[in-house]
Amino acid sequence: EVQLVESGGGVVQPGGSLTLSCAASGFSFDDYTLHWVRQVPGGGLEWVALVSWDGIFAYYLESVKGRFTISRDNHKNSLYLQMKSLRTDDTALFYCARGRSTSSSGAFDVWGQGTMVIVSS
Amino acid sequence: SYVLTQPPSLTVAPGQTARVPCGGHDIGRKSVQWYQQKPGQAPVAVMYDDSDRPSGIPDRFSGSNSGNTATLTITRVEVGDEADYYCQVWERSSDNHFFGPGTKVTVL
């Protein structure tokens, strides 16, 4: 079964750091671009970042540039999101999502169930 | 940045047709994806590349895209289709993805 399972969410103070992980299974991990997408409770979806199949290229939502770093370990079939200088408006459910191919473009065809990040003092 | 617009809500009777619009400048030149999200669940793709239906999605779902509006059409609407629907595009110049604000489809 194709599956993505996120972990690492929690409560952190403003200005703090947190690293999210996403464990993949059931497919050839390095055949796909991977993404992080977030959703404020009761709100809409917001794309956060993507990393190319080989981990060489990464692109970010403007508001997280310089604060978030997306990476992957193809040997461990895992995706990561290092977040620093967290702000209250980063509070959201963070989803790991698979792109349909090695391309940056296109749809997200597999989603995890999400991990919640709460930034609060 | 690329701005997508969607009506916040849409109500349709069972058995009727729901048309969910997604507006954007020259969106007809882009590839549009659609996602369905039910309460407490992760999004599920219901349309790829304007009009390509993923495996397992009923043929009651179809898509079109032209000019400044893309549309997800759901025919013979069922109670189980009640959900939030989001459109999404990729912008080549920034390599960023953008979602519309979502449309809550209510079946009454």
pLDDT tens for chain A, residues 1 to 121: 999 999 999 999 999 999 999 999 999 999 999 999 999 999 999 999 999 999 999 999 999 999 999 999 999 999 999 999 999 999 999 999 999 988 888 899 999 999 999 999 9
Q: Which residue of B has its CA nearest to A96?
A: B42
Which one is predicted more confidently, A104 or B47? B47
Cβ neighbours of B45 in A, within 8 Å: 107-109
Q: From the list B33, B92, B101, which residue is nearest A44 (CB)?
A: B101
A113 shares contact with chain B (CB less than 8 Å)? yes
A56 shares contact with chain B (CB less than 8 Å)? no
Residue B77 predicted with pLDDT over 90: yes
Eight-state DSSP code of residue B51: T
Q: Which residue of A has its CA nearest to B8?
A: A44
Q: Which residues make Cβ contacts (< 8 Å) with residue B5, sequence separation at least 6?
A: B22, B23, B24, B100, B101
A61 shares contact with chain B (CB less than 8 Å)? yes
Looking at residue A105, what is its pLDDT? 81
* First-to-final CA distance of chain B: 36
CB contact under 8 A, A108 and B95: no
Q: Cite the beta strand spans of chain B per DSSP E.
A: 9-12, 18-23, 32-37, 44-47, 61-66, 69-74, 83-91, 96-99, 103-107
